[in-house]
Amino acid sequence: MDCNSASPLSEEPVIICRDVQKWFGNFHALKGISMEVMPQEVIVIFGPSGSGKSTFIRTINRLEEHQSGQIIVDGIELTHDVRNIERVRMETGMVFQQFNLFPHLTVMQNITYAPIYNRKWRRTEAEKVAMELLERVGIPEQAEKYPGQLSGGQQQRVAIARALAMQPKIMLFDEPTSALDPEMIKEVLDVMIELAESGMTMIVITHEMGFARAVADRLFFFDEGLVVESGTPEEIFNYPKEERTKRFLAQILSH
Amino acid sequence: MPTAPVTDPQGNVLPPGREGNTVVQWIKENLFSSLFDSLLTVISLLFMFFVLRLALDWVFNLAQWDVIAANINILMKGSYPGEQVWRIWIGLYLLGGIAGINLRAWNRELNRSTVTIAAIPLILALLPFASERARVNLIIIQGTIVAAYLLTSVAKEKRRRQIAAITSIFYIPALIFLLEGFTDENGIMPLVKSDLWGGLLLSVLLAAVGIIFSLPIGIILALGRRSRQPAISALCITYIEVVRGVPLISILFMGNIMLQLFMPQSLPPIDRVIRVMVAITFFTAAYMAEIVRGGLQAIPKGQYDAAYALGFSSLKSMRIIILPQALRIVIPVIVSQFIGLLLDTTLVALVGLYDLLGIGQAILSNPNWLGRSQEVYVFIGLIYWILATSMAFASQRLEKTLGVGRNYDGL
């Protein structure tokens, strides 16, 4: 997979989750998730809605608080310490289903504000990086527009550029293509594939199985707050072990 | 009524309603499209004609406007001593400066309405009944507006709004200091006790103080109310609900009497006008807090998620991402609260201050002007209407300036 990147011999996992549990009131949303993610790995999480996949990915940058278990991101353990939380959030970029661009700011401001305010970059420097990122996601001409003037696919590509501007070590994608028209899904997936091939560590919640087949190193199937099955795309698609996994894959691959 | 689509020579279908857009056509379509419409039009026109004729007849023939002409000074400034009026004018020069800065800061480029607002002093100076002295002063004010506008253009675009906000906030204390004075009778700026301030000067001053200071206090209260610290939120909720549960007039009485009791004896007594300003500001702040809270609730949770995920602290996300959007949503409500505040300043007459309306009533109680109440009230009403309408107009401008790209695609 990463044959062209010089990987050190003794690689440490960049994300370690041990028995992560989470309740919403009486609802047990995560019933003990464990996962280790190595640098440059691409993880795809899939599963039915309400299975806890979104909640899980949101605990990794502490948008949701986990109540027991351990999460260590890039050597920093997530606890109540606010400084640790902000450090982890600067190391992890996140892309949302509903894009969540800031509608009152231009595309350029959307991308540059976080590095300017949180990494203390100079504006000219941040804008230079932002232009490079916009070229990378293929929409440099939209820099001065507002999010409301862009199509869904363009907005999501801006959102990816915005997350990348903080130069994160890890990217989290929470169903990035689910709110898009079929025609726009491809333009966003192309950007994500390019990102994966460039060696970014990624955790992606998606049901785009073509994407999973192309770039995922490992797949995790979630159901009812648990990891039902995990493995390489080869293992999951061709030789699923669990009955639940087979049924779910049959459902989403049937059409 | 559906008609066949109109096409241009190339055969492209043109949008409807582009053909024959004449005045006659418009009148025919909108005023006389059916028998019933025509009847309504005729009746309304007759009605408007009679009302207008009565009104104009009163304004030009029956009303005796000498009462306004004779009292114009006192209506404008109350009992502020005549030989000190230059201080008010200086205050207005500075106001011109503030206006110039704000016009530059909040408008992307010059347009017709900006120019109209900016030219108000010049228009006033050209009015036939302006005195020679007023004319000179108004032209100086016009000069400060233009000068401040040009000076602000030199500043970087990002800095302009900061400059505007800071100068506006410092303007009010500076103005009060200027009007109040600090020397004894023979000095350059003898003390003018604020009991002597009155008329339009006092009304506008009270409203301006309330407007400028109630919004920041209201924002702090709104954020406090949403705070996760139970002590802070309980304090803010109590404050907001107590103040909103009490009429303004009782707060004015309390401010007038009780503020004095809370202050240490060693300090000199606080000026009555200042006390009333504090009361009005804190009263309006409670309402502002609820307006701002409404705006905050309209911001989707995804905006917080995105801000936090990018590493913004909760304070920074509020300041940079959430509040700018929330305030933009509630501009119309905030401005109508401000207009209400301006009109509510008439209540200060009840605690012994002579605002514009109070002065009007004082004039009417003078036997020389017996039976002129219509003229006086119409004049005062007109002034309030002009002030309130210009605020509404300014808010529309502001919404337009800030409104670019505010909507999500398809939301």
DSSP assignment string, B365-395: TSGGGTT-HHHHHHHHHHHHHHHHHHHHHHH
B357 lies in the same domain as B231: yes
Query: Contact B406/A148 with Cβ under 8 angstroms?
Result: yes
Q: Do B409 and A63 touch (CB under 8 A)?
A: no
Asked if A93 reaches chain B (Cβ–Cβ under 8 Å), the answer is yes
Q: For residue B82, what is the DSSP state?
A: G
Is residue B1 in some structural domain? no
Q: What is the pLDDT of residue A9?
A: 44
Picking from A143, A147, A149, the residue whose alpha carbon sits closest to that of residue A128 is A143
Say yes or no for a CB contact (<8 Å) between A166 and B303: no
Backbone dihedral region for residue B12 (phi beyond 0: left; psi -120 to 50: alpha; all else: beta): beta
Q: Are residues B175 and B262 in the same domain?
A: no
Note whether residue B312 is domain-resident. Answer: yes
List alpha helices for B185-271, DSSP H: 199-226, 230-244, 248-262
Residue of chain A with shortest Cα separation from B329: A104
Q: Does A167 touch chain B (CB under 8 A)?
A: no
Q: Which residue ranges of chain B lie beneath pLDDT 70?
A: 1-6, 16-21, 129, 403-411
Domain total of chain B: 2
Let me know whether B215 and B307 are in one domain.
yes
The dihedral built from the CA positions of residue B318, B321, B327 and B330, taken in this order, carries a sign that is: negative
Give residue B358's domain range: 209-402
CATH number at residue B369: 1.10.3720.10
Asked if residue B39 is part of any domain, the answer here is no
Chain A and chain B share a number of CB contacts under 8 A equal to 86
Least confident of A203-212, A224-233, B144-153, B400-409: B400-409
* The predicted structure's pLDDT at residue B125: 84
Instruction: Identify which of A200, A195, A161, A159 has the alpha carbon closest to the alpha carbon of residue A177.
Output: A159
Partners of A227 in the β-ladder: A222
Assess whether B164 and B244 both reside in one domain: no
Q: Average model confidence (pLDDT) for chain A?
A: 92
The answer, yes or no, to whether residue A19 has pLDDT greater than 90, is yes
The pair of structure tokens assigned to B96 is 């011109």
pLDDT value, residue B345? 93
Tell me the pLDDT band of A237, cut-offs 50, 70 and 90: very high
On whether both B180 and B225 belong to a single domain, the answer is no
Residue B149 lies in a domain: yes
Among the candidates B192, B226, B258, a domain finishes at B192
- Neighbouring C-alpha atoms within 13 Å toward the C-beta of A184: 14
**pLDDT reading at A184 higher than 80:** yes
Domain annotation covers residue B199: no
Which residues of chain B lie closer than 8 angstroms to A110, CB-CB?
none
pLDDT for residue B411: 34
Which value does ipTM take for this structure?
0.93
B398/B283 same-domain check: yes
Residues β-bridged to residue A171: A93, A202
Q: Where are the beta strands (DSSP E) in chain A?
A: 15-24, 27-37, 42-46, 68-73, 76-77, 92-95, 170-174, 201-205, 218-223, 226-231
Tell whether B113 is covered by a domain. Answer: yes
Residue B253 and residue B389 in one domain: yes
Q: Same structural domain for residues B111 and B257?
A: no
Predicted confidence band of residue A215 (pLDDT cuts 50, 70, 90): very high
Strand, coil or helix: what is B167?
A: helix
A55 at B interface, C-beta within 8 A: no
pLDDT value, residue B10: 77
Are the C-beta atoms of residues B285 and B271 closer than 8 Å to each other?
Answer: no
What are the tens digits of pLDDT across the range A134-174? 999 999 999 999 999 999 999 999 999 999 999 999 999 99
Whether residue B38 lies inside any domain: the answer is: no
Lowest mean pLDDT among A24-28, A102-106, B24-28, B149-153: B24-28
Both tokens of A38, joined, read: 């190595």
Partners of B198 in the beta sheet? Answer: B354
C-alpha distance from residue B348 to each of B255, B279, B339 (Å) = 11, 10, 16
Q: Which residues of B touch A163 (CB under 8 A)?
A: 309-310
Both structure tokens of B78: 């109350």
Confidence category of residue A203, pLDDT binned at 50, 70, 90: very high
Among B192, B218, B239, the domain boundary falls at B192
Please check whether residue B213 is in contact with residue B281, taking contact to mean a CB–CB distance below 8 angstroms: yes
CA separation for the pair A194, A211 (Å, rounded): 11
pLDDT at B406: 52
Nearest C-alpha of chain B: how many angstroms from A238? Answer: 36
B142 and B276 assigned to the same domain? no
Residue B1, Cβ density class (10 Å: 0-12 exposed, 13-18 middle, ≥19 buried):
exposed
pLDDT at A83: 87
Q: Which site among B156, B304, B305, B310 would you substitute to test the A interface, given the most A Cβ atoms closer than 10 Å to its Cβ?
A: B310
Question: Do B368 and B319 share a structural domain?
Answer: yes
Contact A99, A131 (CB under 8 A): no
Say yes or no: B367 and B268 in one domain. yes
Residue A243 has pLDDT above 50, yes or no: yes
pLDDT for the residue numbered B21: 65
Same domain, B76 and B128: yes
Whether residue B306 and residue A93 make contact (CB cut-off 8 A), yes or no, is no
Q: Is residue B64 part of a domain?
A: no
The phi, psi pair for A170, rounded to 5°, reads -135, 140
Residues of B within an 8 Å Cβ radius of A: 300, 302-303, 305-313, 316, 320-321, 324-325, 328, 402, 404-409
